Amino acid sequence: MTASNFAAYLFPIVVFASGLLHWRVWRILEERFPEVVVTRRILLSGIALLSALLTVWAAASSLLLPMTASARPLLWTVLLWHGALLTGVLLLRRRVTAAGRQEEFHAASEVDTERRDVLRKGAAGFGVIVFSSPLGNISHDDDYEIVYKTVRLRRLPEQLAGVRIAMISDIHSGPFMAREDIEPYVGRINALKPDMILLPGDFIESRNEEIEVVCELFRRLQAPYGVYGCTGNHDYFADADHVSNELELAGVRMLRDAHQVVDIDGESLALIGLDDVGPGASFLDQFMKASRGLDPGIPNILMCHKPYFFEDAAGLGLDLMVSGHTHGGQIVLARVFNTVVTPLAIFTRYIEGLYRRDATQLYVTRGIGTVMVPIRINCPPEITVLTLASS
Ligand SMILES: [Fe+2]
C-alpha distances in angstroms, 277 versus 226, 283, 286, 323, 328?
A: 24, 6, 8, 12, 19
> Which helix or strand (DSSP H or E) is residue 206 part of?
none
The single-letter code of the amino acid at 210 is: E
Cα distances (Å, whole numbers) of residue 318 to 129, 153, 298, 322, 324 = 42, 10, 10, 11, 18
The order of strands in the sheet holding 227-229 is 145-153, 382-390, 164-167, 196-199, 227-229, 253-254
- For residue 349, report the distance from its CA to the centre of ligand 1, in Å: 16
Å from CA of 19 to ligand 1 middle = 27
Query: Coil, helix or strand for 284?
Result: helix
pLDDT at res. 118? 54
CA–CA dist 281, 274 (Å, integer): 11
* Overall average pLDDT of the 218-222 stretch: 98
Cβ-proximal residues to 337 (8 Å cutoff; 6+ apart), any chain:
none
CA–centroid distance, residue 171 to ligand 1 (Å): 7
Residue 298 CA to ligand 1 center (angstroms) comes to 30
What is the CA(42)–ligand 1 centre distance, in A?
A: 39
How many residues would you count in the chain?
391
Q: Do the Cβ atoms of 303 and 319 come closer than 8 Å?
A: no
Q: Please tell me the distance between residue 323's alpha carbon and the centre of ligand 1 in angstroms.
A: 10
| Residues forming a β-bridge with 173 | 204
Report how far residue 105's alpha carbon sits from residue 102's, in angstroms, rounded to the nearest whole number.
5
Q: Which of 371, 61, 33, 353 is nearest to 201 (CA)?
A: 371
Instruction: State in Å: Cα 229 to ligand 1 middle.
Output: 14
Distance 272 CA to ligand 1 centre (A): 20
In the reported structure, the alpha carbon of residue 103 is separated from the centroid of ligand 1 by a whole-number distance in angstroms of 19
Q: 311: pLDDT confidence band, cut at 50, 70 and 90?
A: very high
Amino acid at 158: E
Q: Are 231 and 275 a contacting pair, CB within 8 Å?
A: yes
**CA 327 to ligand 1 center in whole angstroms:** 6
* Cα separation, 383 vs 169, whole angstroms: 8
Identify which of 5-9, 63-67, 138-142, 147-151 has the greatest average pLDDT. 147-151
Q: What is the pLDDT of residue 67?
A: 52
Q: Residue 339, CB half-sphere, CA atoms under 13 Å: how many? A: 5
For Cα atoms 107, 213, 239, give the angle at the middle one, nearest 5 degrees. 30
Q: How far is the CA of 129 from the centre of ligand 1 (A)?
A: 22
pLDDT at 319: 97
With CA atoms as reference, report the closest residue to 169 among 269, 310, 307.
307
Quote the pLDDT of residue 106. Answer: 42
Is residue 334 within 8 Å of residue 347, measured between CB atoms?
A: no
pLDDT at 121: 55
Q: How far is the CA of 202 from the centre of ligand 1 (A)?
A: 5
pLDDT at 131 (0 to 100): 44
- Rounded to the nearest angstrom, the distance between the alpha carbon of 334 and the centre of ligand 1 is 21
Q: What is the pLDDT of residue 37?
A: 59
Banded pLDDT at 135 (limits 50, 70, 90): very low
Which residue in 145, 141, 152, 151 sits closest to 178, CA to CA?
Answer: 141
How many angstroms separate the alpha carbon of residue 233 from the centre of ligand 1?
7
pLDDT at 122 over 70: no
pLDDT of residue 206: 92
The DSSP letter of residue 141 is T
Looking at the chain, the whole-number percentage of residues with pLDDT higher than 90 is 54
Sequence-distant (≥ 6) Cβ neighbours of residue 155 within 8 angstroms = 299, 319
CA of 203 to the centre of ligand 1 (A): 8
Q: Is 53 a residue whose pLDDT tops 80?
A: no
DSSP symbols for 97-124: GGG-HHHHHHIIIIITHHHHHHHHHHHH
Instruction: Tell me how far the alpha carbon of residue 288 lies from the centroid of ligand 1, in angstroms.
Output: 25
Ligand 1 centroid to residue 312 C-alpha, Å: 21
Mean pLDDT of 47-56: 73
- Ligand 1 centroid–CA 170 distance in Å is 4
Max alpha carbon distance in the chain (Å)? 74
Rounded to two decimals, what is the model's pTM? 0.68
Cα–ligand 1 centroid distance for 360 (angstroms): 24
User: If you measure from the C-alpha of residue 5 to the centroid of ligand 1, how many angstroms do you get, rounded to a whole number?
Assistant: 35
Calculate helix-pair angle for 3-32, 38-63, nearest 10 degrees: 170
**Distance of CA 303 to CAs 112, 309, 320, Å?**
33, 11, 9
